[in-house]
Amino acid sequence: MGRKESKILVFKLGNQLWGIDLKYVREVVKVKEYTKVPMAADHVLGVFNLRGQIVVLLDISKILSIGRAGSDNAIILSYNGEVIGVSVDAVIGVLSVGEEEILPPPHEAGEYVKGIIRHREELIGLLDTEKTLKAIERSEFL
């Protein structure tokens, strides 16, 4: 067995580095256009056409309270049989981290941070994907 490793997709949101467990990630795409959804919550940017499938595009910076300019980069997640797009500012790459490298998050990091990874000089916040998406699903932010 050896040590337990997880693969993390690292991306940029505003000027912060974030990570998401690669097991949720289906692909990374550029979303050139999307259609705004009136009456939807703030964190819903809109819907877009992903090869014939209509996919919702989320801006999780609203949930994590991060300021950002926005870009056309998006991570496509597969969660609970649903395909979800998450808008990010840049996709950095995939990081392999041992379990012991994931530090418990400080209290002030907020409830959607599962852990903190120190990589070289930088800190990466590991997103609690399930918690975040479940909260969105239950529309706690509506």
Partner 1 sequence: MGKSIDKEYLDLFIGETKEYLDILSEIISKLSKLKEADKTALKLVDEAIRLMHSIKGNAAMIGLNTISLLAHKTEDVLTAIRKQELRIGKDVAQLLYEVVDKLNSIVTTLESEELENIEKTDISDVLRKLEEVKNNLKKQPSKTLEEKKPASIEAGEKPLPSSVEEYVEAMGEESATQISSRYIQELMKLSEMEKGKVTEALSRDLQIYRVILKFKKTPMFVLRYFIALQKIGELGEIIKTIPSGPDASKAKIPYVFILAGIRKLQELEEILKEIPDLEHYEVSKIDPKELKVHIDKISCSKDPSADKLSEIENLLKKVEEKDTKSKAPEKVHSTQKLEEVRVNVKTLDALFNMVGELVLVKSRLAAIISRYDIPDIKETLTTFERLVSELQDEVMRMRLVPLQYLFRSLPRYISEKAEKYSKEIDAYFEGGEIALDRKVLEDLAEPLFSLIEILIRDDIEQANERIRKGKPSVGTIKVSATREGNHVILTVESDGKGIDHEEVKRRAVELGLVPPSTIEKISKDEALMLMTLPGFSLKNGEYRGLDMVKKAIEALGGTLEIYSKIDLETKFILKIPVSMATLRALLVKLNGIPYAIPITNVVTTAKLERKSDIGLANIIQYQDKILPVHDLSKLLNINGSREKRYAVIIERRGKLIALAVDEILGQEDIVVKPLSKLLARVKGLSGATILGDGKVCLILDPLSLISQ
How far is 107 from 46, CA to CA, in rounded Å?
32
The residue from 42, 122, 137, 140 that contacts partner 1 (CB under 8 A) is: 137
**Rounded to the nearest 5 degrees, what angle is found at the Cα of 89, between the Cα atoms of 12 and 5?**
35
| Least distance in angstroms from the C-beta of 7 to partner 1 | 17
Give the contacts of 45 (CB within 8 A, at least 6 positions apart): 34, 36, 57, 58, 59, 87
How far is 64 from 58, CA to CA, in rounded Å?
12
| Least distance in angstroms from the C-beta of 110 to partner 1 | 20
Q: Which of residues 75-104 bind partner 1 (CB under 8 A)?
A: 80-82, 84
Interface region with partner 1, contact rule CB under 8 A, candidates 14-22, 52-60, 90-98, 123-131: 52-60
Phi-psi region of 2 (alpha: psi -120 to 50; beta: other; left: phi over 0): left
The residue from 1, 3, 53, 93 that contacts partner 1 (CB under 8 A) is: 53
Q: Which of residues 3-42 bind partner 1 (CB under 8 A)?
A: 33-41
CB atoms inside a 10 Å sphere around CB 65: 8
| Least distance in angstroms from the C-beta of 85 to partner 1 | 9
How far is 88 from 31, CA to CA, in rounded Å?
11
Interaction between residue 44 and partner 1 (CB under 8 A): yes
| Least distance in angstroms from the C-beta of 30 to partner 1 | 14
Contact residues for partner 1, defined by CB under 8 A: 33-41, 44, 46-49, 51-56, 58, 80-82, 84, 136-137, 139, 142
